[in-house]
Amino acid sequence: MDDGEAAKGSCLSILLWPPFSALLFGVLLFLGLTRISFSATSNENRQYNGTLAYLFTPQVLQWEKEIQQWASKLNLDPNLVATIMQIESCGNSNAISPAGAMGLFQVMPYHFNANEDPYLPETNAAHGLNYLSAALEKYNGDVGMALAGYNGGINGASRPQSEWAQETIEYKYWGENIYADATAGRQSSQVLEEWLAAGGASLCAQAQQHVAVVR
């Protein structure tokens, strides 16, 4: 999430850098690409009775209570909040991107006050989702454009799409399609599987590891 001049670099972007290509290949090979336990569609025995779409990965669904609360405060669709969290951090409150974006919603450091903890979920969500709300207002509720604004900056997304960073183009594609599947009540999302295969699986592995350490 950025103010508009350049894409902020979501946590996923580190996985696409050349120095990490070998590591990414190994992780995906080990996890079997999209047929992994982090995929909401591959765990047939997992029980879930919540109100978020079933298709999100378990690392995101575990935040359902908080997602509902945060969404209610800003009159946002909880499934849209979950979509942002899915792509940004896969539910890892300790995530950090190469550009320095932090926490569940990958918020840049300059959005926080000096006395705030950027990794505190409530604080991170407040700044990230306020920015999302501003993007939705700017683009008259157009979710795809709001997602582009969240990644590339509200002002940046106003430029012609031919001038967008590739990351922003992909972010909009992943986000609006995962969200569309969620709002349609689908049990799975092919685009979410694509995101996992493109590096999201490693983010989810990091999120799972962080949860294990915290617990």
CA distances (Å), origin 187, targets 42, 53, 67, 190, 203? 11, 7, 19, 10, 21
174 Cβ contact list (under 8 Å, min separation 6): 87, 191, 192, 194, 195
Active-site residue set: 88
Buried/exposed code over 123-157 (b: 16+ C-beta within 10 A; e: otherwise): bbbbbbbebbeebbebbeeebbbbbbbbbbbbebb
Cβ contact 192:40 at 8 Å: yes
- Return d(Cα 107, Cα 158) in angstroms, integer: 20
| Secondary structure of 141-202 in HEC code, one letter for each residue | CCHHHHHHHHHHCCCHHHCCHHHCCHHHHHHHHHHHHHHHHHHCCCCCCHHHHHHHHHHHHH
Token pair listed for 171: 């972010």
